[in-house]
Structure 1
Amino acid sequence: MTEPTNSATETATPGTAGSTIHEGGCLCGIVRFTVQGAPVRADWCHCRECQRSSGSAAIPWGAWPVESFRISEGQHHLSCFSSTYRGQRHFCRECGATLHMTDPTDERGTVGVPLTALDDPSVARPTCHSWVSERVPWAQATDDLPAYEKDMPE
């Protein structure tokens, strides 16, 4: 007998259709958000801004259409920092956790969410590495995902 599957815990492939709502939040739990469906793309970002904002060598990001993303609790606890002309990082001002990122130049209309900010980070999986030109030398990938010197291609 096979176990019933639960679409909320199955790993989504970026770009696939789906209406499952995934929840996430910050470290202290004050700010909560939801995203609907699968991300349109997902990658490991190795850029210096991600390294500095996270304290890690890379961040696994998923990008969802802006209409699929919603802050469900704690909106007034959010702050925003423009790390570059393209990157507006939104974080909880209580615990400092990065919750999402927007790009005012993004014509696709997406919101980036650290996959690890989701309650179940396994709902999506990065499909490549981006900004490997800024990767720290001691953090080499051990997977066979494609790697891009800068941003992943459209």
Structure 2
Amino acid sequence: MSTSTVYKGSCFCGAVQFTVTGKPALQGYCHCKSCKTWAAAPANAFTLWDPKSVNVAQGSDNIASFNKTANSERCWCKVCGGHLFSKHPSMELTDVYAAVIPDFPFEPDIHVHYQEATLHIYDGLPKMKDLPEEAGGSGELIAE
């Protein structure tokens, strides 16, 4: 019997409902142009999960996706347009947007692509120029 915590999430209208189980591999803020444009926001609050920890419980037929690059498959609800998650096959992780899992205790670890920041956040967290080395980036930190 698993004792992992399960968090429920959904799109804006509730047509798509899902769960995430356990703990994310990483959580933080992405400042890349792609995420900012997709989210229509100055940064994207992300939680990265093992894809096996993300389970669509209802409305899988209402999920649409788009690949701007091979690095991300961005998924949203076809009914309301609400964003759900992005699959990152090269990292073998799924980014479930923190805002769509309301009971999840979001505690960011890091900022990525901070050199592209339009909103500078002074929170003492590490600021990566791009991505950590293990995720294919330079691993270079930049000043807050």
Cα distance in 1 between the residues matched to 2:132 and 2:81 = 27
Equivalent residue letter for 2:65? C
* CA deviation string 1:30-89 (max 9, x = no partner): 101100011011120011111111110011111111111100111011000112220110
Q: Which residue of 2 aligns with 1:116?
A: 99
Structure 1 position 144 matched with structure 2 position 129: no
Moved over 2 A (4+): none
Cα distance in 2 between the residues matched to 1:42 and 1:33 = 18
RMSD: 1.3
SS in 2 for 1:83: strand
Q: Which residue of 1 aligns with 2:142?
A: none
Q: Which residue of 2 aligns with 1:87?
A: 72
Q: Which stretches in structure 2 are left out of the alignment for 5+ residues?
A: 135-144
Q: Which residue of 2 aligns with 1:39?
A: 24
Q: Which residue of 1 aligns with 2:139?
A: none
Q: Which stretches in structure 1 are left out of the alignment for 5+ residues?
A: 1-17
Map 1:51-62 to 2 at 5 A: 51-62=36-47
Q: Which residue of 1 aligns with 2:114?
A: 132
User: What count of residue pairs does the alignment treat as equivalent?
Assistant: 132
Identity among equivalent pairs (%): 28
Cα distance in 1 between the residues matched to 2:127 and 2:42 = 15
SS in 2 for 1:116: helix
The Cα of 1:96 is off from its aligned counterpart by 1.5
SS in 2 for 1:147: coil
Structure 1 position 49 matched with structure 2 position 29: no
The Cα of 1:153 is off from its aligned counterpart by 4.1
Cα distance in 1 between the residues matched to 2:106 and 2:59 = 25
Cα distance in 2 between the residues matched to 1:97 and 1:142 = 29
Structure 1 position 71 matched with structure 2 position 71: no
Contact 1:45 1:130 in 2 (8 A): yes
Contact 1:129 1:152 in 2 (8 A): no
